A and B are shown apart, each in its own frame.
Chain A
Amino acid sequence: MQQITDAGTEARRKRARRTAYILGGFAVGVFLLSIVQMLKV
């Protein structure tokens, strides 16, 4: 059985949060790009 230390688990969760921020930022970026038409108003 392979043990992952608490520090290892915390590192994985930290990486997961960073992944989520990047993906969330990407989603917001796509949304803004899709309403770029509004700039012409």
Chain B
Amino acid sequence: MAHAATHDHHDHHGAPKGFFQRWVMSTNHKDIGTLYLIFSLTMFFIGGAFAMVIRAELFKPGLQLVQPYFFNEMTTMHALVMIFGAIMPSFVGLANWMIPLMVGAPDMALPRMNNLSFWIMPFAFILLLSTLFMPGGGPAGGWTMYPPLSLQGESIAYTIFAVHLMGISSIMGAINIIATILNMRAPGMDLLKMPVFVWSWLITAFLLIAVMPVLAGAVTMLLTDKYFHTNFFNAAGGGDPVLFQHIFWFFGHPEVYIMILPAFGIISEIIPTFARKPIFGYRAMVFAIASIAFLSFIVWAHHMFAVGLPMGAEIFFMYATMLIAVPTGVKVFNWVSTMWGGSMTFETPMLFSIAFVILFTIGGFSGLMLALAPADFQYHDTYFVVAHFHYVLVTGAAFSIMAAAYYWLPKWSGNMYSETWGKIHFWSSVISVNVLFFPQHFLGLAGMPRRIPDYNVAFANFNMISSIGGFWFGASQLIFLGVIIHCVFFSKKKAADRSWEGAKGLEWTVPSPAPFHTFDVPPVIHDDELAHGNTEH
């Protein structure tokens, strides 16, 4: 069916020959997806290098390697690069590659805007990273940019411009994704027949459009406070620094979900494939994602319990936050139910997905602990918080991206990766990531503050263990890089069109590697061909 769809009258248009035309001027969703994925992998290693500096400094108590200001630059840049440069663009890259293939569209709805969305990103990050080499150094006030701390350096102007550029790129990407999903689906691909990954991105894109402009507003006011003598956040001039925290976290909490909802979608694709069963509770999964997205707008102040909120507000935000556990629990139970009784095999994507379900749930549980306002007074700004959000973002978001890379690499490259090395990468990562982050729970409960280059000797042992885990985890990712390079350029094992036995969905009906143009003629949708097509049962 779909093979025929790729050999229509448009197929004589191959990929452009020249490098500049092919990659810089590209309007092809697959090429732009590849660019996003290469960019995010590069940022992953740059942000990872910053993390290595942090863990090296914290290997022993006392100042070892770097000055405190540089340490603060590293924590700030690590977060900005990983959030805006690694996690978010990799999900956009996956969306670019897979959404048109999954809904039977020939390309993204707005291909030239797609090109612009990507090419803004390298300039934004060159601008941001260049601040490290400027007199006075880069931003060091934390990725949250709380005033007045963040306004002390001169690099804040560059940081704010970079954040504006990233925001514009994200908003354009999100608009493109929504326009594609709502308008470009093949005939018969009803909304409730779409793969969960597509649903998760549709909802994420709405979140992005709703909150990225709020971040833009917050940093614009920071800029005017710094350079135009306004006093939005300056208490001496009648402003309120806590106002910034409200505005920032109104963006910041949905942002957390922007980084995890597409991960939910990926896991919901992979587990049914390797359990050889349709996803359990398709509609409940979609509804749970929408519920989590809605709740993300009414929980922002749980990041601010310690600033002195009114009691009523603390109680509201505490209970609203705990409510998120309900739809999240639905998802975890549905993933487990999908596996239950399935004919499971444990290829690398499935291993990462199972690790995701277990370790993300640990991050979720520590999140519930942090949601308790009275307990949060103890946990706030300690390493417990660091442990919590790294379980959510590394063993959650980053593991899902690795799972997705292994799952779809055969479709992208036409070659199978080395399963042996994939599994070595998995086991090395999953053990080291726990050595890295689990002791940080204990450090936080014992009272070690976050964002400090030196600490009490009482925290020495767990810090040393955590740093060893950090170096191990960092080194493990070089295996990941090696597996990808080997798969794309050197692998002799060709991938079948349907690369995995249990895989369903339109993306597996096109050849591997996916041709430059696909679905110029829309495919006929057969319910039994779709992973979640038969939603009546």
Q: A interface vs B, CB < 8 Å?
A: 1-4, 12-13, 15-17, 19-20, 23-24, 26-28, 30-31, 33-35, 37-38, 41
**Per DSSP, are chain B's interface residues mostly helix, strand or loop, or mixed?**
helix
**What are 15 contact pairs spanning A and B, CB under 8 A?**
A1-B521, A4-B187, A4-B521, A4-B522, A12-B183, A17-B110, A19-B109, A20-B176, A23-B178, A23-B179, A24-B171, A27-B171, A30-B209, A30-B213, A30-B217
Contact (Cβ within 8 A) A30 B110: no
Residues in B with CB closer than 8 Å to A12 are 109, 183-184
Residues of A with C-beta under 8 A to B221: 35, 37-38
What are the residues of chain B within 8 A of A1 when measuring CB–CB?
Answer: 1, 4-5, 521, 523-524
Interface: B214 (CB within 8 A): yes
B180, A16: Cβ atoms closer than 8 Å? yes
Residues of chain A within 8 A of B217, CB atoms compared: 30-31, 33-35
Contacts A4-B522, A19-B183, A20-B176 known; 9 new A-B pairs at CB < 8 A: A1-B524, A2-B522, A12-B184, A17-B109, A24-B171, A24-B175, A31-B217, A34-B214, A34-B218
A20 to B521 Cα, complex, angstroms: 24
Q: Interface of B with A (CB < 8 Å)?
A: 1, 4-5, 109-110, 113, 171, 174-176, 178-180, 182-184, 186-188, 209-214, 216-218, 220-221, 224, 230, 232, 243, 247, 521-524
Q: Which one of A20, A27, A33 contacts B113 once the chains associate, using CB atoms below 8 Å?
A: A20
Q: Which of B176, B183, B213, B230 contacts A15 (CB 8 A)?
A: B183
Task: Please report the C-alpha to C-alpha distance between residue A19 and residue B230 in the assembled complex, in whole angstroms.
Answer: 36
CA distance A35 to B108 in the complex (A): 32
With A and B bound together, what is the CA distance between A41 and B210 in angstroms? 25
Q: Which one, B183, B186, B213, contacts A27 given CB within 8 A?
A: B213
Bound-state CA distance A37–B222 (Å) is 12
A29-B111 Cα distance, complex, nearest whole Å: 24
User: Which single residue of chain B is at the shortest CB-CB distance from A29?
Assistant: B213
Min CB–CB distance A32 → chain B (angstroms): 8
Nearest CB of A to B169, in Å = 12
Q: Is A28 a contact of B183 with CB atoms below 8 Å?
A: no
A16 with B187, Cβ < 8 A, contacts A2-B522, A34-B218, A37-B232 known: no
Please indicate the chain B residues that have their CB under 8 angstroms from the CB of A38 in the complex: 221, 224, 230, 232
* Bound complex: CA A27 to CA B184 (Å): 22
Q: Are A20 and B214 in contact (CB under 8 A)?
A: no
6 tightest A-B CB contacts, nearest first: A34-B217, A16-B109, A31-B213, A30-B213, A16-B183, A16-B179
A30 and B175: CB pair below 8 A? Answer: no
In the assembled complex, the Cα of A33 lies from the Cα of B251 at a distance in Å of 13
- Min C-beta distance of A41 to chain B, whole Å: 6
Cα A28 to Cα B212 with chains together (Å): 10
Query: How long is the Cα–Cα vector from A28 to B224 in the complex, in angstroms?
Result: 19
**Given the known A-B contacts A1-B4, A20-B176, A23-B209, are A35 and B187 also in contact in the complex, defined by CB atoms under 8 Å?**
no
For the complex formed, measure the closest distance between the CB of B179 and the CB atoms of chain A, giving whole angstroms: 4
Q: Which residues of B contact A4 (CB under 8 A)?
A: 187, 521-522
Q: Which residue of A lies closest to B108 (CB)?
A: A16
List chain A residues, Cβ under 8 A from B232. 37-38
Distance in Å: Cβ of B247 to nearest Cβ of chain A: 6
Q: A1-B4, A34-B214 are in contact. Are A20 and B110 (CB under 8 A)?
A: yes
Indicate the member of B109, B218, B220 with the most A CB atoms within 10 Å: B109
CB closest residue in chain A, given B186? A2
